[in-house]
Amino acid sequence: MSPDPVDPAGSLEDRLRTVRDRVDEASRRAGRDPAEVTTIVVTKFHPASLVRDLHALGVRDVGENRHQEAAEKASELADLEDLTWHFVGQLQTKKARQVTAYSHIVHSVDRSLLVDAFARGTTTVDCFLQINLTDDPARGGVAPGGAEALAEQVLGTDRLRLLGVMAVAPLDEEPRSAFARLRLVSERVRRLSPESVFISAGMSGDYPEAIAEGATHLRIGTAITGNRPHRG
Ligand SMILES: *Cc1c(COP(=O)(O)O)cnc(C)c1O
């Protein structure tokens, strides 16, 4: 399937409906129940007012990738008590505890020092282990071979609950085959932690492929929000 072209003339509501329909369609095609797939709308670079508009359209899961920006929006929107804030960006160790002040789910746990930082906190958050599906260590994520050791460390920490694994598809590979590799990592992690069944994968350009490989949490930005105001 080709990605949705972003229609800048369409409304937020139209784009949201289009994505929801395609999520349903891709789920059914994969023999899955669409209700088991959560769509997180990634609102980075957009103003808090966009998050409010999304909430009015029924969105309850939003994603951000920079601590400062996310913290400001979460405080501005504190009245929207049923929003779940997902932190999906690379995270500096010294920011870990600050992120738990407003984020319910952190998708980017990818190294031992970061787990230590959460462990020293006082708030418990749900998390995904971010897996690097590229050969470039500079991209975020633990190498697939390191996933189990990191999972063990998370499982030994009361401050983190392990939901599963997360990844971004490499740019130079067909997304479906990359997501198939993520699924294998997920199966290995589930042998250590049977309840850690969730897979965070799929962005605007590749969410149908992610659904086909078992993704349970899609992180979709531009296909719903339209193009970001600044470079993302
Ligand atoms: C920005 C971002 C997304 C959403 O990207 P789109 O291509 O706009 O859908 C998803 N995941 C992460 C980690 C991101 O930083």
* Substitution candidate for ligand 1 out of 66, 219, 227 with most atoms within 8 A of CB: 219
Nearest to 216 by CA among 27, 3, 2: 27
Query: From ligand 1's centre to the CA of 91, what distance in Å?
Result: 15
Q: Which atom of ligand 1 is nearest to the CA of 166?
A: 13
List, for residues 130-188, the tens digit of each pLDDT value.
999 999 988 999 999 999 999 999 999 999 999 999 999 999 999 999 999 999 999 99
Pocket test for ligand 1, best of 203, 204, 207, 220 (most atoms within 8 A of CB): 203
Which atom number of ligand 1 is nearest to the Cα of residue 88? 13
Q: How remote is the CA of residue 113 from the centroid of ligand 1, in Å?
A: 24
Task: Convert the pLDDT of each residue in 104-128 to its tens digit.
Answer: 999 999 999 999 999 999 999 999 9
149-187 burial, b at 16+ Cβ within 10 Å, e below that, comes to ebbebbeebebbbbbbbbbbbbeeeebeebbebbbebbe
pLDDT band, residue 67 (cuts 50/70/90): very high
Residue 229's pLDDT band, with cuts at 50, 70 and 90, is confident
Q: For residue 65, which atom of ligand 1 is closest to its CA? A: 15
The confidence score (pLDDT) of residue 99 equals: 97
Q: Which two tokens stand for residue 195?
A: 């309840």
Q: pLDDT tens, 79-88?
A: 999 999 999 9
Ligand 1 contact, 168 CB (< 6 A): yes
